[in-house]
């Protein structure tokens, strides 16, 4: 085909759409079902109507081929587990008794059985349920959900393309089932899994599918030759099937790298590539394999996981280059639109001048359609859209929100010295010991105390105007008094104020920093029925006034013991927000870091001797490809040091991390140059303490001895045992005693009992030293 005819055939498509509905109808229906207030029939009817209206919206917007099967009651990886019959033994009875209840039992557990483990979907903030497989796993095909949803679309008279998690990614995301040796590799089950995919493909063909999309995002990560071989075999075998739809193998979130030649040679009819962040690499790799003659190329040129309008002209030029490289070029968003909110039109509080810089799922859909139209009919057909797009981009680039000269000048003037404490760690540690006068094995907590219903009600009352600011602040003060007096009575050494004023550890700061935007309806699925509204890093970041000093000082005024100041670090502020796409992440991180540096300085000036800067997201933000990690860690650790290096040697900087394993970033943790780190460790029996020791980590550390993810109260003996285990790796002079994480999700009764036991354990073990 010539580039011209490839253009003439261009179609618009997407891989998936937000599931929740405009008013989070799906969340309400599912949670109502769990509580017994919504019947199964009503739940299924709500879901079917949401699917119908999503598809209709997409088609009305001009999407030529709508996705099906991307909808989910909880998670699409769990749906795949059902599709291939890999239900864990412990859930079998529940699934056999009732498919819907069994499904939710796998997702959430029941009184009797634990749920599947949940973990992050690549480097997004979406969580999937981890398949549990073993040598005994028997796969059986169940194509019901996929076939039903395809038929729904066909009945609407639409062209539809079922979207499935591909077999290689499914296996690479799985883990050994309980009781199966930890070194079992699920990928060894590929030969057993492929016939099941073959059956599903045949069913979809019979139901009327012309194309089926198989998502293989795992292939954008570094893969061993054996894994690439498995991918090669999988698509050779699926390609060789006679009774099947055309296959589109989709990649997203990064470049395909070594997997690109593998897929290019495979007997599949189409490949989808991410041309947003990975554009240059994918283009080069495509050219190197001589393009995709005879294949359909789906070009993800509209960023599916960020909230900014596309640069249409730039995308058209990328698409123009691609036209010479494939038989047919289609236009798409880079990944499922599940990762962005639904519609900017719902945001009534955002300045319309700024709103036009933003693009949520509906707007992205329109962008994809415009680009496809530009390809087919020429740019003359979309002059209106191009002009509006140019104007919006120019308004963003030229806005004082986007570029604050004072912030930029300050960020540029940062020197190495600004990111370095005035004394090396060993000297500081001595100064801090003298200044703080803490016992061996000092006890502390991670920051938050239970966020009680009263606190939530107070916040709701404030925003509804039922109480005024003074009334709200009185309630916060009362809470702080209680938290401080409990900690004093219990004998905790370094106190916290309990964070009662914070709705969320990122949002609280985002609301106070200039340059951040909040949305009213910008819900994005985090997992299951949990939706979050990430704030948007829209412009240059500055701090008009102190954000936490009042509350920390108030807490300190109530006690002679040190009260820790509590901040969210720059990397986490980026990781749990939508980030700017018009400058490197490191530049944004540096601006946030400078704002935090001022806050740290103000806390110190107000008499705070211990300041904790939380970075739970440091590990999870690590790039998917190893080659990109050093650059990331360089800016990430520098941003942390910029935030924290302005203090006196005798001011103690703490950091905190959780939600991950840290064995592979101990060097980076050391590079933070914090004085003390607290880490999640209770469930892994202090594994992280051994990892720190193995890397010769020289600083103080508090591996958690209280698993706060469970309402269970650890006994003093249990906590003491964990401490003794910790002492084998970290000497007493450097070991802290603390829970795994903040206590905001816990209730007061178990918090009280657990912290009392934790202090008892510390005293017992001190007595043995
Ligand atoms: N300081 C925060 C808290 O205690 C830390 C939360 C986190 O690590 N996710 O809640
Ligand atoms: Zn934590």
Cα 561 from chain centre: 37
Residue among 614, 596, 122, 88 at smallest CA distance from 338: 122
Q: Which atom of ligand 1 is nearest to the CA of 656?
A: 8
The 10s digit of each residue's pLDDT in 599-648 is 999 999 999 999 999 999 999 999 999 999 999 999 999 999 999 999 99
The 10s digit of each residue's pLDDT in 510-531 is 999 999 999 999 999 999 999 9
pLDDT score recorded for residue 327: 84
pLDDT score recorded for residue 711: 85
Task: Give phi and psi for 69, each to the nearest 5.
Answer: 80, -5
Q: Whose CA is nearest to atom 4 of ligand 1?
A: 742
3-state secondary structure of 418: helix
Other C-beta atoms closer than 10 Å to the C-beta of 489 total: 10
pLDDT score recorded for residue 175: 96
Q: Whose CA is nearest to atom 9 of ligand 1?
A: 616
Residue among 392, 342, 314 at smallest CA distance from 58: 342
Under 8 Å CB-to-CB from 116, ≥6 apart: which residues?
A: 78, 81, 88, 106, 107, 129, 130, 131, 132
Q: Whose CA is nearest to atom 10 of ligand 1?
A: 742
Other C-beta atoms closer than 10 Å to the C-beta of 620 total: 18
The 10s digit of each residue's pLDDT in 96-122 is 999 999 999 999 998 888 899 999 999
Least confident of 455-459, 498-502, 567-571, 721-725: 455-459
**Has 521 been annotated as catalytic?**
no
pLDDT score recorded for residue 661: 79
Q: Which ligand is nearest to the CA of 614?
A: 1
Q: Which atom of ligand 1 is nearest to the CA of 616?
A: 8
How would residue 3 be classed by pLDDT, with cut points 50, 70 and 90? low
Give the up-direction half-sphere exposure of residue 11: CA atoms within 13 A in the CB hemisphere.
Answer: 17
> In residues, how long is the chain?
769
The 10s digit of each residue's pLDDT in 289-317 is 999 999 999 999 999 999 999 999 999 99
Ligand 1 within 6 A of 569 CB? no
pLDDT score recorded for residue 723: 98
Binding-site residues: 24-27, 120, 446-448, 499, 576, 614, 620, 656, 658, 680, 741
- Percent of the chain at pLDDT > 90 equals 94
Strands (E) located in 156-201: 160-165, 175-176
The 10s digit of each residue's pLDDT in 454-499 is 999 999 999 899 999 999 999 999 999 999 999 999 999 999 999 9
pLDDT score recorded for residue 5: 72
Stretch 132-159: mean pLDDT: 98
How would residue 239 be classed by pLDDT, with cut points 50, 70 and 90? very high
Q: Which atom of ligand 1 is nearest to the CA of 448?
A: 4
Ligand 1 within 6 A of 658 CB? yes
List C-alpha distances in Å: 589 to 58, 76, 94, 358, 657. 36, 32, 47, 21, 18
Q: Cα-atom radius of gyration of the chain, to the nearest Å?
A: 27
Looking at every residue in the chain, the average pLDDT score rounds to 96
Cα 277 from chain centre: 17
pLDDT score recorded for residue 277: 82
Q: Which residue has the tokens 């980590």?
A: 697
DSSP code per residue over 224-277: -HHHHHHHHHHHHHHHH-SS--EEEEE--SS--TTHHHHHHHSS-SEEEEE-ST
pLDDT score recorded for residue 31: 96
Stretch 573-588: mean pLDDT: 97
Contact by Cβ (8 Å): 267, 295 = no
Contact by Cβ (8 Å): 360, 14 = no
Binding-site residues for L-homocysteine: 446-448, 499, 614
pLDDT score recorded for residue 628: 96
Mutate to test the pocket of ligand 1, among 447, 615, 707 (most ligand atoms within 8 A of CB): 447
Q: How far apart are CA 275 and CA 334, in angstroms?
A: 7
pLDDT score recorded for residue 449: 98
Under 8 Å CB-to-CB from 684, ≥6 apart: which residues?
A: 661
pTM, two decimals, is 0.95
The 10s digit of each residue's pLDDT in 40-72 is 999 999 999 999 999 999 999 999 999 999 999
pLDDT score recorded for residue 310: 98
Residue among 358, 357, 356, 315 at smallest CA distance from 333: 315
Q: Which DSSP state fits 310?
A: P
Ligand 1 within 6 A of 616 CB? yes
Q: Whose CA is nearest to atom 6 of ligand 1?
A: 742
Q: Which ligand is nearest to the CA of 658?
A: 2
Binding-site residues for L-methionine: 446-448, 499, 614
pLDDT score recorded for residue 678: 98
The 10s digit of each residue's pLDDT in 353-397 is 999 999 999 999 999 999 999 999 999 999 999 999 999 999 999
Cα 633 from chain centre: 18
Ligand 1 within 6 A of 619 CB? no
Q: Per the structure block, which two tokens stand in for 571?
A: 């990397």
How would residue 9 be classed by pLDDT, with cut points 50, 70 and 90? confident
Ligand 1 within 6 A of 565 CB? no
Ligand 1 within 6 A of 124 CB? no
Ligand 1 within 6 A of 741 CB? yes
How would residue 2 be classed by pLDDT, with cut points 50, 70 and 90? low
Buried b (16+ CB within 10 A) or exposed e, 675-694: bbbbbbbbebebbbbbbbbe
Mutate to test the pocket of ligand 1, among 656, 740, 746 (most ligand atoms within 8 A of CB): 656
Ligand 1 within 6 A of 448 CB? yes
Answer whether residue 578 shows pLDDT above 70: yes
Helix axes 40-61, 25-34, angle to 10 degrees: 170
Q: How far apart are CA 216 and CA 531, in angstroms?
A: 25
- Percent of the chain at pLDDT > 70 equals 99
pLDDT score recorded for residue 22: 95
Q: How far apart are CA 268 and CA 253, in angstroms?
A: 21
Contact by Cβ (8 Å): 734, 696 = no
Ligand 1 within 6 A of 656 CB? yes
C-alpha 189 to ligand 1 mean position (Å): 39
C-alpha 448 to ligand 1 mean position (Å): 6
Contact by Cβ (8 Å): 359, 308 = yes
C-alpha 175 to ligand 1 mean position (Å): 28
Catalytic residue, candidates 521, 654, 695, 709: 709
């Amino acid at each position: 085909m010539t580039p011209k005819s490839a253009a003439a055939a261009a179609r618009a498509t997407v891989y998936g759409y937000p599931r929740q509905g405009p008013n989070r109808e799906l969340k309400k229906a599912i949670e109502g079902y769990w509580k017994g207030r919504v019947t199964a029939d009503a739940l299924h009817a709500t879901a079917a109507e949401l699917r119908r209206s999503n598809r209709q919206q997409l088609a009305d917007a001009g999407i030529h081929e709508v996705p099906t099967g991307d909808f989910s009651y909880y998670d699409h990886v769990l749906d795949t587990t059902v599709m291939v019959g890999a239900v864990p033994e412990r859930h079998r009875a529940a699934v056999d008794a009732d498919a819907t209840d069994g499904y939710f039992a796998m997702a959430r557990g029941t009184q009797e059985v634990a749920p599947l483990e949940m973990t992050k979907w690549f480097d997004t903030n979406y969580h999937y349920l981890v398949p549990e497989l073993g040598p005994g796993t028997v796969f059986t095909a169940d194509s019901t959900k996929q076939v039903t949803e395809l038929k729904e679309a066909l009945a609407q008279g639409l062209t539809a393309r079922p979207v499935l998690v591909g077999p290689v990614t499914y296996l690479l995301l799985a883990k050994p089932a309980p009781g199966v040796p930890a070194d079992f590799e699920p990928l060894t089950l590929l030969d057993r899994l492929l016939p099941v995919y073959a059956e599903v493909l045949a069913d979809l063909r019979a139901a009327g599918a012309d194309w089926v999309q198989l998502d293989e995002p795992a292939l954008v990560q570094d893969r061993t030759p054996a894994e690439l071989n498995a991918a090669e075999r999988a698509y050779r075998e699926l390609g060789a099937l006679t009774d099947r739809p055309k296959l589109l193998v989709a990649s997203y979130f990064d470049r395909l790298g070594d997997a690109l030649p593998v897929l290019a040679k495979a007997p599949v009819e189409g490949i989808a590539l991410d041309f947003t962040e990975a554009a240059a690499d994918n283009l080069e790799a495509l050219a190197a394999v001589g393009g995709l003659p005879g294949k359909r190329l789906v070009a993800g040129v509209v960023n599916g996981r960020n909230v900014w309008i596309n640069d249409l002209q730039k995308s058209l030029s990328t698409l123009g280059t691609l036209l010479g490289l494939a038989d047919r070029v289609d236009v798409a968003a880079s990944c499922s639109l599940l990762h962005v909110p639904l519609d900017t039109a719902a945001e009534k509080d955002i300045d319309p001048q700024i709103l036009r810089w933003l693009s949520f799922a509906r707007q992205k859909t329109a962008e994809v359609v415009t680009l496809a139209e530009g390809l087919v009919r020429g740019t003359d057909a979309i002059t209106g859209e191009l002009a509006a797009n140019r104007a919006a981009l120019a308004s963003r680039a030229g806005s004082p929100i986007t570029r604050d000269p004072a912030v930029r000048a300050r960020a540029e003037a940062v020197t190495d010295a600004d990111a370095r404490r005035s004394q090396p760690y060993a000297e500081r540690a001595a100064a801090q010991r003298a200044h703080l006068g803490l016992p061996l094995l000092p006890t502390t907590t991670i920051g938050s105390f239970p966020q009680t219903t009263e606190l939530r009600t107070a916040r709701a009352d404030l925003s509804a105007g039922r109480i005024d600011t003074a009334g709200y602040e009185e309630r916060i003060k009362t809470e702080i008094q209680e938290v401080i007096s409990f900690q004093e009575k219990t004998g905790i050494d370094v106190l916290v104020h309990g964070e009662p004023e914070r709705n969320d550890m990122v949002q609280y700061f985002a609301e106070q920093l200039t340059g951040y935007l909040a949305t009213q309806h910008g819900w994005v699925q985090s997992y299951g029925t949990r939706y979050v509204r990430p704030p948007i890093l829209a412009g240059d970041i500055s701090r008009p006034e102190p954000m936490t000093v009042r509350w920390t000082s108030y807490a300190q005024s109530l006690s002679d013991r040190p009260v820790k100041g509590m901040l969210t670090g720059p990397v986490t502020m980026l990781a749990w927000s939508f980030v700017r796409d018009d400058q490197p992440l490191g530049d944004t991180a540096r601006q946030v870091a400078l704002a935090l540096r001022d806050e740290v300085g103000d806390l110190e000036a107000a008499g705070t001797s211990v300041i904790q800067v939380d970075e739970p997201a440091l590990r999870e933000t690590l790039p998917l490809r190893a080659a990109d990690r050093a650059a990331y860690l360089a800016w990430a650790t520098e941003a942390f040091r910029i935030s924290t290096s302005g203090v006196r040697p005798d001011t103690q900087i703490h950091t905190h991390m959780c939600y991950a394993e840290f064995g592979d970033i101990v060097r980076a943790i050391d590079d933070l140059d914090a004085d003390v780190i607290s880490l999640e460790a209770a469930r892994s029996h202090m594994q992280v303490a051994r990892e720190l020791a193995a890397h010769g980590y020289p600083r103080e550390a508090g591996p958690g001895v209280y698993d706060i993810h469970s309402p269970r109260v650890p006994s003093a003996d249990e906590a003491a045992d964990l401490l003794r285990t910790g002492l084998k790796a970290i000497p007493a002079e450097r070991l802290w005693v603390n829970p795994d994480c903040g206590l905001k999700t816990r209730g007061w009764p178990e918090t009280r009992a657990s912290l009392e036991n934790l202090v008892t354990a510390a005293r017992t073990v001190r007595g043995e030293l």
